[in-house]
Structure 1
Amino acid sequence: MQILLPPSETKRDGGWGPALDLDTLSHPELSTARREVLDAVRALSPDEAAAARALKLGAKAAAVEIARNRELESSQTMPAIERYTGVLFDALAVQEWQRDARRRASRHLMVHSALFGLVAADDLIPAYRLSHDSRLPGVRLRSHWAQLNAAVLRSLDGPLIDLRSAGYASLGPLPDRDDAVTVRVVAVGDDGVARALNHFNKKGKGEFVRALLSAGPLPSSIDAVCRVSTELGWPLRQCAARELELVVPGVLPPR
């Protein structure tokens, strides 16, 4: 099983790993595409005004984020699952996990980066700024990545649980098979109606993944994932073909 996470706009600074080495990242078939995006980011970075527009950065964030992009291939790295911050990754709280849960993350978690494509939890990456809708010179991210990442996903065995946002899912569509499913995050009100969440969507995803990986070995089928998740207090059920509905406990939905 693989659980697909979106990245976060915010990243942790620094690192303890060596400088970026594309040859060490998972899915080496993406190496050429990764190099092309890196080259485009580097070409953009000297012009701070153009970079700020392309990356949709305000004046306050521009200096910091563009400086990060200028140092992509010289700055220190850390595992992808520890690089990202923000609501989802703060709820994931990977630094607090027991050793067995962390090992499961190494095997079963992937993050979808606009810069590197699909990366494994332990792939060593630098801090960077690039979003699924960023505009790079000479590279249209959706057309650049979609088929390549989709091919990676088709090559993976077992269930695929997709927690990505729509923007990142467009950079690598799921394969058309029954064990590749998207997850809709909802809360159930007093009226029994399930409604989609906004802010708590990300928090719920992080807490759900943390609970699932902390509980023990991951199930090997979609039905088993739904059963185990529900037993853990995170009701998960089929709501449409190739779509699951995750009910976040203890949260009232918006009206």
Structure 2
Amino acid sequence: MLILLPPSEGKAAPRRRGRPVDLATLGLPELTPTRAAVRDALVAASAARGALDVLGVGESLRAEVEQNTRLGSTPASGALETYTGVLYDALDFATLSAAAKRRAGRGLRVQSALWGPVGPADRITPYRLSMAVTLPGLGPLARLWRAVLPGPMAALAGDGVVVDCRSSTYAAAWTPAGEAARQLLAVRVFTEVAGRRTVVSHLAKHTRGQVARVLLEHPGRLRTAADVTAAVAANGHRCELVDHGRRGCSLDVLR
């Protein structure tokens, strides 16, 4: 089983001391050239006139954009210490059991627009960059990552189920293709009033964090979408499995 999470917009403040990111130590080392290209392009874009417009952010985030220019020297922290927000609060990685943390090390990745897929053992620095951005000299980031991720991610997923907790913006960087697409299980969150379902947004992040935690703490091996659905339901969530044929399945959680 591979669990895919989106990065959070909010990130913990960088440490005052420590070593910066060493790209060679990040998982999936075949992605190092792409990581280096994105980092260098982001540093340059963040230092240039019009940086806020390029990155699609407002004046209130200028300090975070300026922080991008120091990516080469800012001390790094664990990826799951760096990302914050409702999803990561619900996951609460620090309080997972030792067995769950080992499972996360093998099969949980955060799809970063800057660093690519990163796991608990990867040390990164805070940054401001969305997968929806087009960086000068590189083009749209989703397209850039989509060109290099199929091989590494397919090898990481193997023949197991891929539990996708990402937004569509980040899912655009990679999803299983061909026959492997049947192994995709997208987590969707709805509220139901008078029999009518509506997609929820803020609560969806919290629910996806809860789902990821449940799956990591599950003691047995979860081989299929049906196994995942049963594990989530056993933990008290109202949910159902929807089969989309060649496009995989969705786990629909009702709030």
TM-score > 0.5 by shorter chain:
yes
1:188 & 1:212 partners in 2: Cα distance?
A: 24
Tell whether 2:158 aligns with 1:159.
no
* Partner amino acid, structure 1, of 2:161: P
1:149–1:173 CA contact under 8 A, matched in 2: no
* 1:5, distance to aligned residue in structure 2 (A): 0.4
1:104–1:217 CA contact under 8 A, matched in 2: no
SS in 2 for 1:182: strand
1:153–1:175 CA contact under 8 A, matched in 2: no
* 1:218, distance to aligned residue in structure 2 (A): 4.4
1:160–1:179 CA contact under 8 A, matched in 2: yes
Q: 1:231 to 1:17 in 2, by over 3 A?
A: farther
1:165 & 1:152 partners in 2: Cα distance?
A: 21
Q: 1:17 to 1:238 in 2, by over 3 A?
A: farther
1:219 & 1:11 partners in 2: Cα distance?
A: 31
* 1:131, distance to aligned residue in structure 2 (A): 0.3
Q: Residue by residue, what CA displacement relative to the aligned partner does 1:111-143 show, whole Å, maximum 9, x if unpaired?
A: 000011112232111111110112311112122
Q: 1:13 to 1:245 in 2, by over 3 A?
A: same
Which of 235, 245, 251 is matched with 1:245 structurally? 251
1:130 & 1:227 partners in 2: Cα distance?
A: 36
* Partner amino acid, structure 1, of 2:54: A
Q: Residue by residue, what CA displacement relative to the aligned partner does 1:54-73 show, whole Å, maximum 9, x if unpaired?
A: 112221211x2123211112
1:73 & 1:118 partners in 2: Cα distance?
A: 19
* Partner amino acid, structure 2, of 1:65: E
Other-structure match for 2:206: 203
What is the root-mean-square deviation of aligned Cα atoms in Å?
1.9
2:164 & 2:217 partners in 1: Cα distance?
A: 19
Aligned positions of 1:90-105 closer than 5 A: 90-105=89-104
Other-structure match for 2:149: 149
SS in 1 for 2:9: coil
SS in 1 for 2:130: coil
1:132–1:167 CA contact under 8 A, matched in 2: yes
Structure 1 alignment gaps of length 5 or more: none
Q: 1:237 to 1:53 in 2, by over 3 A?
A: same
2:95 & 2:105 partners in 1: Cα distance?
A: 15
1:194 & 1:17 partners in 2: Cα distance?
A: 48
2:242–2:252 CA contact under 8 A, matched in 1: no
2:39–2:114 CA contact under 8 A, matched in 1: yes
Which sits farther off after the overlay, 3-12 or 203-212? 203-212
Other-structure match for 1:54: 54
Q: TM-score, normalised by structure 1?
A: 0.89
* Partner amino acid, structure 1, of 2:19: P
SS in 1 for 2:251: strand
2:222–2:228 CA contact under 8 A, matched in 1: yes
* Partner amino acid, structure 2, of 1:81: L
1:130 & 1:42 partners in 2: Cα distance?
A: 11
* 1:28, distance to aligned residue in structure 2 (A): 1.1
* 1:159, distance to aligned residue in structure 2 (A): 1.4
Number of residue equivalences: 246
Other-structure match for 2:184: 180
Other-structure match for 2:129: 130
2:183–2:249 CA contact under 8 A, matched in 1: no
Tell whether 2:217 aligns with 1:214.
yes
Tell whether 2:51 aligns with 1:45.
no
Q: How many percent of aligned residue pairs carry the same amino acid? A: 33
Q: TM-score, normalised by structure 2?
A: 0.89
1:181–1:243 CA contact under 8 A, matched in 2: yes
Structure 2 alignment gaps of length 5 or more: none
1:20–1:125 CA contact under 8 A, matched in 2: yes
